[in-house]
Structure 1
């Protein structure tokens, strides 16, 4: 009798604990459903990663020591890439390297075959109501995007205006070793040696990708916030690189306003589902204050639209 009663009490205790766990799971589920999920998409080299870093600085807890150390290696790699590009440019234009600079070129050439770091998906808890999910922009990463499309409230898509005169990195011709002793970038050679197809313009790739995302059946009720990024680099390029040389239908002047409006039209004038609300911002991802303002405005828009759809406004 006593053992039976103890067993019954124990059973009741287990049931109570089970009900408590179920209750907590339901609360977590409701809380998660209330949190609005923002998907951050864009092609590689659009400045998307810089925007994520800005969000972490503004709305999250910044970077821990390990991440700060990792950033050192990224910065070093960017420096090596920049010097390699300069060295290749000097070689292609047959410019003479001053004797005092040759040692610098040789030093950097020793590290020019480092492979590019591939982004992993990352989720940031921003403010009270939002989760920002960033996924890699390389072509090989895009097939994974579909796994993140469920329950998305809004899509932030980042495109680089300054990419209008560039081709996809995967399509870049391999740089050959020449008498200058400048070695090819290993990652470029590896990817493009077998490339047989016509090189694709980076901006056109971004435009095609944007429309592919907009037309996805799982995102038909989302708001789309388009970031036309790298405005500063775009303005600088227009001073020496004509947009009409790469987009034959462009007949305007080579000024920022005309060129930017032309490019924006590729994104916004194509047919999109009537259920989709679209907003456009011109951005410089390196400008923390501007990104803070634009993101706050985008979040406000998303909140207002969700209240309207829920019949609460």
Structure 2
């Protein structure tokens, strides 16, 4: 925090010093924004060659593809991949067996990592494991390193710890109070469902293939630019003509580009931005539930503050100065659940709405809308969503379709 200056001292400051201070502040903010996204977004004069090389990228293929091109941005953990997978599962672009096998490894590792995180937190906060045998099992599990051995014994050990050690479930239930951001909110689903199956027998573990719900909850970091092409989404319209009910089916096709949200991956965003003209829609994802958590890569930075600064950086970029943005505020279920135990005002002192869900939602939305005030022509289309809820996503996708039509009309008007 900066040094607080008294009113009496401020009166003695001259206009020159104020001007210098403001210039320095603006410079620091500018540098901060550049660091957030990556220097490649602000190319030097020497970067022309690299820009030309990127034009041979697969992204150029989008020029020949029909449909709506959507660029999905947001900080790590905001739910970008979950949303895209949910859309894919509702469309003709289903998840193949080969991809499910890839998710198999991800999910099995997620289970091990989640239990390791819980056990590490128990050690940190001196939460005891009562049974001597289970304590030995826990100590052995903590010694395992990635890539983990995915054996029947290890999953039976985790199942035993979860089912029989009450303090483990107690710590998981209160993880937000302990600021345990390394424990994924979807871990309980795996402990209660997936673990029961894969620990039942060696044959069950060998033949395990993740379900749709397990894939949606997988914590799989996007480490590169991932393109999903020609995803079809069926719009159903009910109407009447001459007294007869008519149902109309309108198929919309999407080409979606997903990019990694961790700081170390944001330099790749420059390649996506270079083809901004090919993307008619910019969608920014926010995790509502991370208002009380810190970044995995920087324990001093609040995740929501990072998301806000990242959103501001994107709005300020020349690429998107006149672009409308669709804002998805995700993880409404977790956000609603934790408001009473983790007050929003602790992290945003200006908030005065208590633990009322609607008040909290509108406050967070207001923080993002403030950022766009300096761009009066920029429109923000907002949706509160739980990306794990199929019905919720179906409803939002119908609204998204209308948003995209409006954005297209706005862009035509501007031209």
Residue of structure 2 equivalent to 1:165:
292
Unaligned runs of 5+ in 1: 1-27, 173-198
- 1:1-313 equivalence runs, <5 A: 31-32=64-65, 35-99=67-131, 101-106=134-139, 108-111=141-144, 113=146, 117-124=221-228, 125-127=230-232, 128-149=252-273, 150-151=276-277, 152-172=279-299, 199-270=300-371, 271-307=373-409, 309-310=411-412
SS at match of 1:59: coil
Query: What's the offset of the Cα at 1:221?
Result: 3.6
TM-score, length basis structure 1: 0.75
5+ long unaligned stretches in structure 2? 1-60, 149-219, 233-251
SS of structure 2 residue aligned to 1:226: strand
Change beyond 3 A, Cα 1:85–1:212: same
Q: What CA distance in whole angstroms lies between the structure 1 residues aligned with 2:264 and 2:271?
A: 14
Displacement after TM superposition at 1:129 (Å):
4.3
Cα–Cα, structure 1 residues 303 and 104, in superposed 2: closer, same or farther, change >3 Å? farther
SS at 2:285's partner residue?
Answer: strand
SS in 2 for 1:310: helix
Q: Secondary structure at the match of 2:280?
A: strand
- Matched-pair contact (CA < 8 Å) for 1:214–1:272: no
SS state of the match for residue 225, structure 1? strand
Instruction: Give the superposition deviation at 1:112.
Output: 5.0
Matched-pair contact (CA < 8 Å) for 1:215–1:272: no
Q: CA deviation at 1:93?
A: 2.6
Whichever of the two has the greater Rg, that structure is 1
Mapped to 1, the partners of 2:360 and 2:280 lie a distance apart of 31
Change (3 A) 1:153 1:281: same
Equivalent residues of 2:226, 2:257 under 8 A apart: yes
Structure 1: distance between partners of 2:384 and 2:102: 29
Alpha-carbon RMSD across the aligned residues, in angstroms, is: 2.4
Structure 1 residues 98 and 215: CA distance shift in structure 2, 3 A:
same
2:342 partner SS: coil
- Map Cα deviations across residues 223-242 of structure 1 (whole Å, 9 max, x no partner): 21111111111112212111
Distance of aligned partners of 1:118 and 1:153 in 2 relative to their CA distance in 1, 3 Å threshold: closer
CA distance in 2, matches of 1:308, 1:167: 37
CA positional deviation for 1:272: 4.4
Deviation track 1:118-170 (CA, whole Å, cap 9, x = no partner) reads 53211222234431111111111112212212212111111111111111111
